């Protein structure tokens, strides 16, 4: 056999990636509207937002006049209108998830609190956009549109008040904190509702003109839960409350408001019907927030990833300039030119930060694009069900059983070569919008919580790494790139719009969906194929890690612990949550590899890239993929091994489980999988049989009789890490040579 070796000298990174690269990788090279809103958002972020942070505007909980200057900037730059439908003054046609994600990404590059402020209006409008009546959409979206030339009106701002309970009052987040009753209901007139709600941690409250609030009926004449729109001029109490003393995201206004208002029933979002004398909202609050949060959580995940990528340039500049100005240090010397970049550790850690930022961004933008693609099918499904009179969650689930079965068939056909499959049947299924609806829904249900969970959770850890690379400078207000603030802010991103446990809980359910798993299996095949064509990406290692995860999941689904209790079950978070965490690593790395392939495929058509630099970008990003694949594989291997072995009781000298200890024959067999195993086992076994009491460090040897299949996969995975550290060395070397700007393009 001949082993092909790749030369170690290859084109590498020359400059930091610019818009040409990102537009291709994140798939908006042909969307000029999105490219413009990106530029707009960037100018606001690196202009007024950066000035506010640099001036210390974050150093108060209050919403100041200075902070308020962000709103006109958002209005003038199109950021506000980007979230509105074109018929109400917006300019982005079609789904806007990718566009709004990019807006948040650009703003968070400087300050995530500002990004939050820009998004909250969309969050407040979200229930109305998703489920509102025509009248509600017209009123509130038109009110939020920035004034046109010649207009003097002030645009409305909104806030979104969900369920945050006041701490220590005996409720949990599953209980709605607001009540609604019928205040007055005159025959032939519209009912008037009394809404009482205390909100906590409600963003935008300092300026909100209206609030979309989740409430629960406290009156037999009104059924279930709903969301209502509250206006500041409604009769009653519209108390914005005290500013929340949060430590982070100080460029977003957060209060604990109190509402006790009388509003017409027409403010119920999505409308209502009267059935047997009872007001029945058309949508429960759950129906609405599911539709809203499913989208907005992605942007939060991307905010943390933006901050990771934003850290690269300031860290490189700091590393290189670390010793300059010192006595006797001459320009041109390695110490002068490279500074801390002479040290491998500093470079390797920065490679890890960059790779994590890439993977998180890839996962986030893939999810945003998925929501854009899914949205037309959601509309089609709703229209079809409305035509057929299918309402209510259970009825819809029943109606989707057949499409789900067909979707599995569709996915099976999709994985076959066109020449070998039944093309007539495939075309028939492909034309069914409900098939596409359920296929993409199964993905969205996994990718969205994965993005929110992994990007923010792991991202926070990596931001701490970035801060540490700046030394003491990192935790000062003067740190270039505001890295200290970005690190602290990330903790809130991991928490708001559903904390990590909520995302893990959702994942632990949605990742078991057969439709998702069918696609996951196909992804393994795809990664093997990519691994054959582009082995340097580490795609093959990723495929092996994905197989290990799948095997572990299937094993845990059927296995029981030492006490005979089922392992993969709803309340067993010790099993389900780590497995969800492991999946996130795989999903993010897969998206990262796919983005690099997109760059390699489409880059040559870009004159700016083809003219020089493309090969270097592709090689560098490929190395980052390999680095990250190795990290993901390590995490997956560790988690899976712990779950597979950890619920078997360890044998002890005096217990009945001695029979579970390794026999010589089995040890020999295992030696095939793990060379050297038999020697250890033999030594341990001898100690076990000859000694009445064990010597130190020679406990009874565990038999892995039931898990040889796992061992084989785990061992294979270890071998798959071949070359990952060489990739890391190459990426580190590239960091010493990449050309960076003379200065950061925003003040610090």
Partner 1 sequence: MADPFHIVVCGSLVPDPLQTLEPVAGAQGPGLKNETMLPAVLDPWAGHALFEAANLAKQVAGSQVWLVTLGPKAKLQQLMMTIAQKVPFQLVVLDGTASGFADAHEVATALATAIQGIPGLDRNRLLLFGGCASASRDSGVTLQLVGEQLGIRDQFLGVDELGIEPDGALHILERVEGGQYQVSRCVAPPAVLAWATGSLPEPHNNPQVGMMNMRTIMPQLQKAKPVTVGCAGIQYDTVKLPSQRRDTRVVRDVPAADIAREIVDWLKA
Instruction: State the residues that interact with partner 1 by CB under 8 A.
Output: 14-15, 18-20, 32-33, 35-40, 43, 73, 76-78, 81-82, 91, 606-609, 611-613, 739-743, 745
Q: Which is nearer to partner 1, 351 or 609 (CB)?
A: 609
Helices (H), 77-133: 97-108, 112-131
Q: How far is the CB of 146 from partner 1 (least distance, A)?
A: 10
Spell out where 155-277 has E strands.
158-161, 178-184, 192-198, 202-203, 210-217, 225-231, 236-243, 254-264, 272-275
| 262/608 with CB nearer partner 1 | 608
* Closest to partner 1 by CB, 75 or 219: 75
Between 19 and 668, name the residue whose CB sits nearer to partner 1.
19
Residue 603 CB, nearest distance to partner 1 (Å)? Answer: 12
Whether the CB-CB separation of 486 and 317 falls below 8 Å is answered with: no
CB of 195 to partner 1, least distance (A): 36
C-alpha closest to that of 118 among 294, 302, 383, 355: 302
Minimum distance from CB of 547 to partner 1 (Å)? 39
3 state DSSP class of 553: helix
> Nearest approach, Cβ of 74 to partner 1 (angstroms)?
11
Nearer of residues 79 and 206 to partner 1, judged by Cβ: 79
Strand partners, 272: 281
DSSP letter for 178, please.
E
Least distance from partner 1 to the Cβ atom of residue 83, Å: 12
The residue among 210 and 746 lying less far from partner 1, judged by its C-beta, is: 746
CB of 148 to partner 1, least distance (A): 9
Q: Distance (Å, rounded) from C-alpha 232 to C-alpha 206?
A: 11
Give dist(CA 510, CA 499) in Å, integer: 17
Least Å from the CB of residue 223 to partner 1: 43
**Closer to partner 1 at the Cβ: 29 or 681?**
29
Residues 6 or more apart in contact with residue 114 via CB below 8 angstroms: 45, 49, 52, 70, 107, 108, 251, 252
- What would the two tokens of residue 318 be? 């700091």
Nearer to partner 1, 427 or 605 (CB): 605
Rounded to the nearest whole angstrom, what is the least distance from the CB of residue 708 to partner 1 in the complex? 52
Q: Which residues contact 730 (CB under 8 A, 6 or more apart)?
A: 8, 10, 12, 619, 620, 623
684, 701 Cβ separation under 8 angstroms: yes
* Placement of tokens 């009653």 in the chain: 236
What is the rounded distance in angstroms from the CA atom of residue 58 to the CA atom of residue 136? 35
Are 633 and 546 contacting, i.e. CB atoms less than 8 angstroms apart?
no
Element (H, E) at 730: helix 724-737
Question: Please, which residue, 326 or 612, has the CB nearer to partner 1?
Answer: 612
Tell the smallest beta-carbon distance from residue 363 to partner 1 (Å).
25
CB of 91 to partner 1, least distance (A): 5
Distance, in Å, from the CA atom of 286 to the CA atom of 549, rounded to the nearest integer, reads 32
In the complex with partner 1, which residue's Cβ is closer, 256 or 372? 372
Largest CA-CA distance found in the chain, in angstroms, rounded: 96
618's tokens? 């592709």
Beta strand pairing status for 272-275 and 225-231?
unpaired
Report the distance separating Cα 662 and Cα 615, nearest Å: 52
641 in Cβ contact with 714 (< 8 Å)? yes
- Closer to partner 1 by Cβ: residue 34 or 205: 34
């Amino acid at each position: 056999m001949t082993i092909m070796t790749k030369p170690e000298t290859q084109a590498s990174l020359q400059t930091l990636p610019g818009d040409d690269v990102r537009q291709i990788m994140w798939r908006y090279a042909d969307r000029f509207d999105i490219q413009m809103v990106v530029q707009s958002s960037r100018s606001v972020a690196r202009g007024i937002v950066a000035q506010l942070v640099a001036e210390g505007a974050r150093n108060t909980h209050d919403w100041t006049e200075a902070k308020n200057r962000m709103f006109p900037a958002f209005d003038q730059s199109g950021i506000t209108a980007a979230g509105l439908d074109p018929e109400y003054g917006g300019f982005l046609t079609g789904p806007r998830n990718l566009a709004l994600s990019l807006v948040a990404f650009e703003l968070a590059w400087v300050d995530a609190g500002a990004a939050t402020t820009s998004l909250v209006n969309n969050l407040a409008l979200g229930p109305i956009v998703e489920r509102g009546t025509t009248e509600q959409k017209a009123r509130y979206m038109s009110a939020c549109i920035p004034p046109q030339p010649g207009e003097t009106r002030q645009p409305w701002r909104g806030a979104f008040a969900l369920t945050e309970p006041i701490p220590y009052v005996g409720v949990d987040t599953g209980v709605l904190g607001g009540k609604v009753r019928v205040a007055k209901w005159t025959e032939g007139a519209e009912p008037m509702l009394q809404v009482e709600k205390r909100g906590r941690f409600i963003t935008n409250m300092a300026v909100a003109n209206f609030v979309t609030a989740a409430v629960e009926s406290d009156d037999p004449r009104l059924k279930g839960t709903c969301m209502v729109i509250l206006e500041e001029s409604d009769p009653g109490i519209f108390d914005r409350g005290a500013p929340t003393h949060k430590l982070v995201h100080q460029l977003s206004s957060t209060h604990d408001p109190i509402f006790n208002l009388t509003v017409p029933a027409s403010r119920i979002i999505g409308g209502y019907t009267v059935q047997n004398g009872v007001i029945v909202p058309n949508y429960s609050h759950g129906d609405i927030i599911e539709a809203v949060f499913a989208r907005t959580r992605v942007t939060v995940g991307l905010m943390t990833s933006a901050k990771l990528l934003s850290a690269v340039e300031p860290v490189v500049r700091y590393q290189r300039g670390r010793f300059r100005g010192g006595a006797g240090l001459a320009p041109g010397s390695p110490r002068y030119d490279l500074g801390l970049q002479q040290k491998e550790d500093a470079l390797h850690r920065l490679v890890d930060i960059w790779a994590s930022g890439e993977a998180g961004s890839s996962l986030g933008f893939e999810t945003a694009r998925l929501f854009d693609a899914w949205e037309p099918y959601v509309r089609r499904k709703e229209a079809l069900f409305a035509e057929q009179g299918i309402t209510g969650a259970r009825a819809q689930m029943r109606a989707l059983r057949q499409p789900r079965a067909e979707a599995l068939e569709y996915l099976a056909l999709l994985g076959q070569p066109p020449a070998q499959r039944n093309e007539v049947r495939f075309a028939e299924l492909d034309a069914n919008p409900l098939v596409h609806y359920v296929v993409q829904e199964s993905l969205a249900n996994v990718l969205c919580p994965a993005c929110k969970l992994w990007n923010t959770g792991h991202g926070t850890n990596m931001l701490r790494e970035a801060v540490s690379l700046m030394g003491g400078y990192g935790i000062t207000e003067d740190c270039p790139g505001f890295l200290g603030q970005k690190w602290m802010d990330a903790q809130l991103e991991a928490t708001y719009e559903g904390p990590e446990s909520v995302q893990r809980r959702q994942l632990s359910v949605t990742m078991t969906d057969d439709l998702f798993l069918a696609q996951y299996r196909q992804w393994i095949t795809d990664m093997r194929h990519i691994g054959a064509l582009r082995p340097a990406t580490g795609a093959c290692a990723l495929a092996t890690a994905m197989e290990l995860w799948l095997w572990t999941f299937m094993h845990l689904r059927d296995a029981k612990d030492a006490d005979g209790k089922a392992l993969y079950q709803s309340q067993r978070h010790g099993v389900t949550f780590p497995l969800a965490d492991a999946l996130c690593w795989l999903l993010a790395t897969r998206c990262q590899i796919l983005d690099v392939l997109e760059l390699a495929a489409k880059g040559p058509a870009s004159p700016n890239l083809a003219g020089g630099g493309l090969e270097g970008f592709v090689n560098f990003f490929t190395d980052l993929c390999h680095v990250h694949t190795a990290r993901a594989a390590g995490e997956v291997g560790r988690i899976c091994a712990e779950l597979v072995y950890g619920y078997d009781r360890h044998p002890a000298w005096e217990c009945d489980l001695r029979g579970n200890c390794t026999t010589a024959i089995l040890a020999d067999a295992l030696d095939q999988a793990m060379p050297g195993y038999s020697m250890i086992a033999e030594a341990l076994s001898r100690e076990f049989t000859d000694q009445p009491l064990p010597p130190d460090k020679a406990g009874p040897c565990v038999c892995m009789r039931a898990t040889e299949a796992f061992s084989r996969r785990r061992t294979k995975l270890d071998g798959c890490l071949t070359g990952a550290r060489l990739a890391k060395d190459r990426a580190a070397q590239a960091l010493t040579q990449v050309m960076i700007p003379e200065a950061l393009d925003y003040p610090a």
